[in-house]
Amino acid sequence: MTTSVDDAITRAGAIVARFRTLFVGVGVAGRCAVVAKSLNPELTVIFESGIIGASLTSPPRSISDRRLYERCRYVAAQDELFDCWLGGRRIEAAIVGAAQIDLNGCVNTTVIGGYANPRARLPGAGGAPEVRPLLASVVVIPQAEGRIVDSVDFVTYRLPEDVERWLVTDRGVWYARAGEPRLAPEVP
């Protein structure tokens, strides 16, 4: 039995399978990478921990999962990863999660509710604000149903308008290059 999250992961995996290089973390992004790699065995997956070209047969438990190190092409130090790989524009796309996102590309990974008295305080953006301007494409998957909102509770960062932006949910796929996102008619 598949869930709505499984549907979104399958859709996102199909989108990013068309690229040559993909930057991911763990959780939903790691699961998408497994789908994408099964569709495109030539895809090079780069984990935020610096693991490059790992052989993916199942989702990693963490960005430092021992299985990733055992079956990878290379392990880059953090400065090399950010300066040479991301800064050198060698990575085409990334998958990022979001607690909330609006259709203008504002992403919230900080708090639900007001900042001073939130209903929930979240882990934050990690490296997403630094990574997203260095990519040609960004795929966002909300972490739960109903997280596409009219206006996010807190703007952690905004997706750049000069890159491809995909918003993937169990209910559909939105795509934009610039301006307002539109519902994509199909997954490429």
Look up 92 and say whether it is catalytic.
no
Kindly state whether residue 32 falls inside one of the protein's structural domains: yes
Q: What's the mean pLDDT when you consider all of the chain?
A: 84
> What is the CATH number for 103?
3.40.1080.10
Cα–Cα distance list, 34 to 13, 23, 55 (Å): 8, 12, 9
Kindly state whether residue 171 falls inside one of the protein's structural domains: yes
Distance of CA 146 to the CA centre of its chain: 18
Alpha-carbon distance of 127 to 158, in angstroms, equals 13
Kindly state whether residue 15 falls inside one of the protein's structural domains: yes
Cα–Cα distance list, 121 to 13, 124, 158 (Å): 29, 8, 19
Kindly state whether residue 118 falls inside one of the protein's structural domains: yes
150 pLDDT band, cuts 50/70/90, is confident
Kindly state whether residue 148 falls inside one of the protein's structural domains: yes
Q: Using the Cα atoms of residue 70, residue 74, residue 77 and residue 81 in order, give the sign of their dihedral.
A: negative
Alpha-carbon distance of 135 to 129, in angstroms, equals 11
| 18-60 per-position pLDDT tens digit | 999 999 887 888 899 999 999 999 999 999 889 999 888 888 8
96 pLDDT band, cuts 50/70/90, is confident
Which residue is catalytic, options 42, 48, 70, 92? 48
Alpha-carbon distance of 166 to 158, in angstroms, equals 13
Kindly state whether residue 188 falls inside one of the protein's structural domains: no
72 pLDDT band, cuts 50/70/90, is very high
Kindly state whether residue 116 falls inside one of the protein's structural domains: yes
129 pLDDT band, cuts 50/70/90, is confident
Task: For residue 121, give its domain range.
Answer: 4-183
Q: How many domains does the chain have?
A: 1
Its pTM stands at: 0.85
